[in-house]
Each structure stands twice: as C-alpha cells, then as structure tokens.
Amino acid sequence: MITELKWNVDGHRLLLNISKTELVVAPNICPHGNVPDSPCYHAGIESCLVNYFINTYGLETNHGVVPASENIEIAWAMGGSPWDIDLVEFHMIPVADPHFADWLASVSE
C-alpha cells in the first residue's frame, strides 16, 4: 500500500558551517522541545527524529536546492515505523526551494 507523506513546515532548521575545508551540517534546536506529543518526536529514540536524521545522515536526505546559507528552514516528512527508527523513511527539503515553495503554496490554498 502506498501512502502519501505529510510534509511538516514547523520551524525546523539546519545549520551550515565551514570548518577549515569541511562543510559541517548540524540541526538547530528542535522548535518543539522534544516533547512526546510533538509531530517530530519518535518513540524509538525518545527524541526529535528531524535532529536525529540530520545528525546521522547530514544532507543525504535532502531533496531540494537553495543557495548556501548559514541557517536554512526545512520541511520534513516521515513514513514508516513510529517505534523503530531503522524502519523510518525520512525526507527533508528546504522551504525556500522554488519547486517545493510553489507546490506548497498550491496545496495550501
């Protein structure tokens, strides 16, 4: 069965820094404060799954393109298991990505 992913635009951001010759990708503080009833809380890790995936995979789950910036707001979507983090399908995309922004505006109307 195929289910459509629900995209969340809720203030999550990733931070980009250059350290010597390396690009360092890090999550910003979770805007929900890691509370169990927040949309990004995952019971399997008892924490924010957005921050987990950014810390673990960096930009590997990104599907969009925007100019490099120190602080980038992202939209995110999750499918799969709410209990086992290894069975989660996670995607993120910068909110400012022109194709995503156009699509989001069209479904938000």
* Cα(107)–Cα(109) distance, integer angstroms: 6
- For residue 75, what pLDDT is reported? 94
Decide if 1 is inside a domain.
Answer: no
- For residue 1, what pLDDT is reported? 53
- For residue 32, what pLDDT is reported? 93
Pairing of strands 41-42, 22-27: unpaired
Burial environment of residue 49 by CB neighbours within 10 A (0 to 12, 13 to 18, 19 or more): buried
Decide if 48 is inside a domain.
Answer: yes
Decide if 102 is inside a domain.
Answer: yes
Decide if 32 is inside a domain.
Answer: yes
Q: How many CB atoms lie within 10 A of CB 39?
A: 14
- For residue 33, what pLDDT is reported? 86
Domain range enclosing 55: 13-108
Decide if 77 is inside a domain.
Answer: yes
Domain count, the chain: 1
Paired tokens of 37 = 């009833």
Decide if 4 is inside a domain.
Answer: no
- For residue 37, what pLDDT is reported? 92
- For residue 76, what pLDDT is reported? 95
Which has the closest alpha carbon to 43: 84, 8, 10?
Answer: 84
Q: Decide if pLDDT at 53 tops 80.
A: yes
Decide if 3 is inside a domain.
Answer: no
Query: For the chain, what is the mean pLDDT?
Result: 89
pLDDT band, residue 89 (cuts 50/70/90):
very high
Instruction: Please give the share of the chain, as a percent, with pLDDT higher than 90.
Output: 60
Decide if 7 is inside a domain.
Answer: no
